[in-house]
Structure 1
Amino acid sequence: MQDGYDAIIVGAGINSLACAVHLGAKGWRVGVFEQAETPGGAVKTLELTEPGFRHDWAAMNLSLLAGSGFFKAYGEDLTRRGLEFAPASHCFASVFENGRWLGVSTGPGETRARIAGFSENDAKAWDRLCADFPGTAEFVFALLGNPMQMHIQGRLLAKALWRKGFAWTADLARLLLSSPRTWLTETFESDHVRATLAAWGMHLDFAPDMAGGAVFPYLESMASQHFGMVIGKGGADTAVTALLSKIKASGGEVHCGQRVARVIHTGGKATGIELADGTKITARRAVIANVAPGGLMKLLDGTSGDAAFDAKMTKFSHAPGTMMIHLALDGLPDWSAGEELKSFAYVHIAPSLDQMARTYQQAVAGLLPDEPVLVVGQPTAIDPSRAPEGKHVLWVQVRMVPGEILGDAAGQITGTDWATVKETYADRAIDMIERHAPGLKSKIIGRAVVSPLDLETDNPNLVGGDQVAGSHHLSQNFLFRPALGHATGKTPVEGLHITGASVWPGAGTGAGAGYMLARKLGGK
């Protein structure tokens, strides 16, 4: 058995790398083992279509990383190591069938003026939200940025009651528990305004009627208005490259193409790992698994020794899947709703709350949605360096889709195998974009379609193409992510910890779970 690491981390996603950086800074020697050939998990950039066209494989938005506690601690060093953000002042927009559009930008009065074009009452509601946001954000970001432990969150609740009073605190709690539809219909009267903000719930697992989803459209719209958005200069992998450099400088190692077959544990204690080729490696202080709960059970050969914990991990619920379409283009889409849309980082095609709800239910039922929600990313509008001069890339998330196809809601596609269906279904999505941006198809130089099962093959944490590594519904969020009593990554096996997007605070590029665990193990 090989010896040599204080901590072994399974998986090289953003949470793993952040965890390794902090432990390395505290003097731990860390080894990271990744089954894929490229580190980064969902955060990586590849030439998927044509030479010189750099496509973000899954994650594109690095705003959570830029605003995280981890970046506050290590951002200066990572910047010296090459991490560079490309800021977007025109953050996101939605296009509608009637040729209208609405977008959120940081310019003074820009967003308000657009909202007023739909409803002056809604513009006034937006003013109120913007005015209240700093005070609200202080507590919401504190909630999301701290470990989910009762004594920590209890102090936060007491602080809110003391400083803001019971009524304000109760309203905040109601926001955290509300569905997107409830909050949006209470706050705005325009269906277009509601739909534009509700689209952000679909980035996670929150269709309009899912309780607990209101906070995500709220936070994304307010944060975009106040701070803007950032993507990675040259690609999202600018973050991964800098993290790898920092880990190496601390004496750590990242091994790709090395699948971990199991965690070695005897007498209720984890002592190392065994690779797929039979190599055994010891860990003196900790084994950290950045895996989905089902994956953790596989690493433990089906049992941790605690039947109740094992049942919780086995029953962990995943969100519907996502399909990715990557396009190399001669030019940006010519949006018929307005030339200004070419400057936005994201353009959503999600015309109504009811359509989003229908799409979600179809995907949950195993059907290919007749009209999926499309998140059309235009990274080269923000960062031209990702493509040859004058050319562009388009990053399209098709949300939601089933991991296992049982049928087609439109009654047009008869196949049920993603390997044969994905190109045909991609045609449906591109046809939807073409309706809003005539001539798109003629601009396509290259195309790569990534099915939900392709995503899972590359990263087993994305079960069925679930890009958020587990549903964020209330029954599986906050204290219950991934299960009650384990939101800090604790497992029944001494020395074994779980981290990643399946653990509080969940999905995104903020590296919250990995950084919190590293601070718990190595000290602040």
Structure 2
Amino acid sequence: MHSSEGAAVVGAGPNGLAAAVTLARAGVPVTVFEAAETIGGGTRTTELVEPGVLHDVCSAIHPMALATGFFRAFEIERRMEFVVPEASFANPLDGRAGGGSDRAAIAYHDLDRTVAELGRDGSAYGRFYRPLLARMPEVLDFALGGGMLRWPAHPIAAALTGLRALEQGTPLWNLRFRESAAPALLSGVAAHSIGRLPNLATAGVGLVLGALAHTVGWPVPVGGSRAITDALAADLLAHGGRIETGHPIDDIRELGAYRVRLFDTSARGLERIAGSALPARYRRALRRFSYGDAATKVDFVLDGPIPWSDPRVSQAPTVHVGGSRPELAASERIVASGGHPARPYVLLAQTAEFDPGRNAPGVNAVWSYTHVPSGSTVDMAEPVIRQIERFAPGFRDRIRAVRVTTADEMSRYNRNYHGGDFSAGAITLPQLIARPTVSADPWRTPGRGIYLASSSTPPGPGVHGLSGWYAAKSALRHEYGLAEPDLRLR
């Protein structure tokens, strides 16, 4: 195949690299263009706070890396190491949440253990998840299998998933529960997608992430998230692909030598770069695609582990800090109304115990972010510290260094994060159906040889590589008449 028949991929995040690997494995010459000096997008790991101390820049824990179709086909577990802790995530609670105890809610990899520790609501929590776990491949196919317009291949799994999302995404969400721990677990994981609680779209996201916690677990990548990027890049280079860093693409005409162009950019970014190469109607649809509220990141270096009131919280690499379900809902409601909560929801990753070789002994790199309105320039360090200190007295005294990256700074770090929205588009029910437009093949645009391969397409945000994989398979089918390649390590 001549180089003029090749493909250009714009953006070297996990979706862009998944697309490039798929094309290269099929024999298509591929060049990846990355605006930053390093590849990775949402899977970078670097010295953010102190020299010699590694922090993940965006994503840190990867429940989709062991479960989704692309990474299974790619055999990611044979290419790098993951640690799967016994506890997937935790929600600290205090006496104000009900029950008069500082005992946390823990979602263990083992559902039976989770049920046993949840008290009166344990059996209800088990009944909520067990039917999904029994059909987990079918649930994932429905939720992540390539667009909401498909007739579900597994109607029973689709119905079970839909009914549970309906329950947890509406005011019915407390019907099956009597205490605070189980609802806090469900709300803490649903809040990952940023939005009012309860909400159908966030409930759907939380449902899948929660089910993964009790199947494959929530793994910690050894060496940091960049190990995922490195594995993808190594395979691409081994199959003849090229990567050019520090090379932003601002006009599609710069890619005139390539037959096919795939964009791991936001919908708005595609519209800006492609311009008149896309029909006016489609461009208007891209401009209408909306972006959600944002994240402000607060990274810490501590001189020891976090002193949680309930020591069991240390067993979980991911901690949802925010208290009870009503408190979490109140915090997210303030953000959705344009405010900054005094008691924010904090998503925290503590990896030192699970990947001790990442940093020097005694150095605990703690990753966290909190939700804020789009474009926020507010320094949220103090509210985040107070919220963690509430459940871990003495946390403040262990802080050696801290770095804040506001939502506005996040948007400048990565121009796909509009206003600090790292999802490349708000997670709403309409935008799960039309992402970015209503189409049976939403990765293929009306522009000749132009494909959108980012989280602005199904299945949406997450380190899963699926958006890029689906876009590449569509391009292979429509542009080259080629079948999906074998991605296994050989």
Contact 1:18 1:515 in 2 (8 A): yes
Contact 1:180 1:198 in 2 (8 A): no
Specify whether residues 190 and 521 from structure 1 end up closer, same or farther in structure 2 by C-alpha distance, changes over 3 A only: same
Residue of structure 2 aligned with 1:320, choices 286, 293, 296: 293
1:270 corresponds to: none
Partners in 1 of 2:435 and 2:85 — Cα distance?
A: 32
Residue of structure 1 aligned with 2:241, choices 252, 256, 270: 252
After superposition, residues 230-249 of structure 1 pair within 5 angstroms as 230-249=219-238
Residue of structure 1 aligned with 2:116, choices 113, 116, 122: 113
Partners in 1 of 2:448 and 2:468 — Cα distance?
A: 18
Q: Which consecutive aligned stretches of 4+ in structure 1 deviate over 6 angstroms post-superposition?
A: none
State the Cα RMSD in Å: 2.2
Specify whether residues 340 and 173 from structure 1 end up closer, same or farther in structure 2 by C-alpha distance, changes over 3 A only: closer
The secondary structure found in structure 1 opposite 2:262 is strand
The secondary structure found in structure 1 opposite 2:181 is helix
Residues 428-464 of structure 1: CA distance to partner in whole angstroms, max 9, x if unpaired? 2112211221221221222221111221112111111
Partners in 2 of 1:219 and 1:187 — Cα distance?
A: 19
Contact 1:327 1:448 in 2 (8 A): yes
TM-score, normalised via structure 2 length: 0.90
1:79 corresponds to: 78
Partners in 2 of 1:97 and 1:155 — Cα distance?
A: 42
The secondary structure found in structure 2 opposite 1:494 is coil
Partners in 1 of 2:330 and 2:16 — Cα distance?
A: 36
After superposition, residues 340-489 of structure 1 pair within 5 angstroms as 340-398=312-370, 400-405=371-376, 418=377, 421-422=378-379, 425-477=380-432, 479-485=433-439, 488-489=442-443
1:192 corresponds to: 181
Specify whether residues 432 and 176 from structure 1 end up closer, same or farther in structure 2 by C-alpha distance, changes over 3 A only: closer
Contact 2:40 2:226 in 1 (8 A): yes
Per residue, is there more strand in 1 or in 2? 1
Residues 298-353 of structure 1: CA distance to partner in whole angstroms, max 9, x if unpaired? 1023x4553332221111111200011111111111111x1121121112112233
Residue of structure 2 aligned with 1:290, choices 223, 243, 264: 264
2:487 corresponds to: none
Partners in 2 of 1:247 and 1:129 — Cα distance?
A: 41
Letter in 1 for 2:462: G
Contact 2:191 2:202 in 1 (8 A): no
TM-score, normalised via structure 1 length: 0.85
Specify whether residues 184 and 364 from structure 1 end up closer, same or farther in structure 2 by C-alpha distance, changes over 3 A only: closer
1:515 corresponds to: 469
The alignment of Structure 1 onto Structure 2 pairs a total of residues equal to 471
Among the aligned pairs, what percent are the same residue?
Answer: 25
Gap regions ≥5 residues in structure 2: 96-101, 477-482, 485-490
1:54 corresponds to: 54
The secondary structure found in structure 1 opposite 2:214 is helix
**Structure 2 residue 97 is the aligned partner of structure 1 residue 126:** no
The secondary structure found in structure 2 opposite 1:448 is strand
Residues 149-174 of structure 1: CA distance to partner in whole angstroms, max 9, x if unpaired? 75xx3261xx42xxx4xxx8655433
Contact 2:8 2:33 in 1 (8 A): yes
Residue of structure 1 aligned with 2:201, choices 212, 217, 224: 212
Q: How far off is 1:19 after superposition?
A: 0.7
2:488 corresponds to: none
Gap regions ≥5 residues in structure 1: 265-273, 275-279, 406-417
Contact 1:20 1:30 in 2 (8 A): yes
**Structure 2 residue 93 is the aligned partner of structure 1 residue 104:** no
Partners in 2 of 1:245 and 1:226 — Cα distance?
A: 29
Specify whether residues 367 and 155 from structure 1 end up closer, same or farther in structure 2 by C-alpha distance, changes over 3 A only: closer
Partners in 1 of 2:81 and 2:4 — Cα distance?
A: 33
Partners in 1 of 2:307 and 2:5 — Cα distance?
A: 53
Once the two structures are overlaid, the 10-residue window that deviates more, 185-194 or 371-380, is 185-194
Letter in 2 for 1:372: P
1:267 corresponds to: none
The secondary structure found in structure 2 opposite 1:92 is strand
Q: How far off is 1:376 after superposition?
A: 1.6
